[in-house]
Amino acid sequence: MENFLRQHFGAEVTVVSRRSVSGGCINAGVVVTLSSGESVFVKSNNAPPPLMFTREAESLREIAKSGAIRAPKVLAVQEHPKAFLALEAIREGRPSKSFFADFGRSLAKMHEFESAKFGFRQDNYCGRLLQRNRECDSWTEFFAQNRLSPQIELASRKGLLDGELLASLENLVENLGRYLPADIRPGLCHGDLWSGNFMCDETGSAVLIDPCAFYGDPETDLAMTELFGGFPGDFYAAYNEVRPISNEYYECRRSIYQLFHALNHVNHFGGSYVDMVRRLVAPLV
C-alpha cells in the first residue's frame, strides 16, 4: 500500500498518520494522511472473495458516471498479495437542513441513468456473498434468477429454512410475474442502500459508499432504505417529485425486494433473520 501511495503521490511522500475508521461490515478501514497534506481512505481484507474490491470499484465508477450524486473517487485497487481499495478520503461535514430532500432528488436522478438490459457487466458482491448480474431483458426473470433463487438455494443448503418456508419461497419465485410490473426500465441502483451506506460530505451533501451496483427496478433501493427503519419523510417526498413512485402495488413489491436482503442476512449471519424472511413472504403466498 505504501508503495502505491508513493507511486501515486510522489516518491518523496511519506505517511504522517493513520486513523482507523469503519470499513463496512466485513472490511478494515484506515484514513492515511500524507506529508503532502492529502488524505486517502483505504479499506482492506485479509481473505476477501475473488475480485471483491475490483467489483466495488466498478460500482463506484458507475455511480460517478451518472453525474447525479457523489461517490468517492477510486485511486487504486489491489487484489494480491494483500487486498485493498484506495479511495479519496471524503471529509465529513454537517448535514444541511435540506440534506435528505436533496439526497432524495439526487438518488431519483441517478435512477434515471438507464441501460438497455437488466443486470450489470460483471457480477459483484452484496456483503461477502456473490451477487449475480447476468443481463436479462425481463425484470421478473432477472430478479428470480439473479436475486431470489441463489439466496434461497444457499440458505437451503445451509439448512436454515424449514420445509414449509422453503416451499413458500419457491412458490413465490415460480409466480413472481404476478407481482412485478412488466414495464420497468433498467435504472442504475446502488444495490444495498441502508443508513450505513451513505455519508455527508464537507458541503453538507450525500455521498454513496459501499455499493453493489446494477441496473434494475429503482424501487429496490427504496425498499432497502425502509428495511431497517426508513429515512426521513422528506427524502421520499423529494424523490417522488423527480421520479414518482407507483403506489398501487409498491407495498407488495417492497416486500419482495426486501426479501432478497433478508435472505442475504440469513446467509451472512444465520438463523436470527429467518423470522424476517417468514414475515415478508407470508402475505405473498
Beta strands in the chain, from DSSP E residues, in sequence order: 15-22, 28-34, 39-45, 74-78, 83-88, 124-126, 129-131, 187-189, 198-200, 206-208, 214-216
Q: 192, 210, 217, 221: which one is catalytic?
A: 192
Cβ partners under 8 Å of residue 273, min gap 6? 262, 265, 266
- Report which of 251, 194, 185 is spatially closest to residue 224, judged by C-alpha positions: 194
What does the buried/exposed string (b/e) look like for 215-253 if buried means 16 or more CB atoms within 10 Å of the residue's CB? bbbbbbbbbbbebeeebeebbbebbeeebeeeeeeeeeb
- Concerning whether 275 is annotated as a catalytic residue, the answer is no
**Residues marked as catalytic:** 192
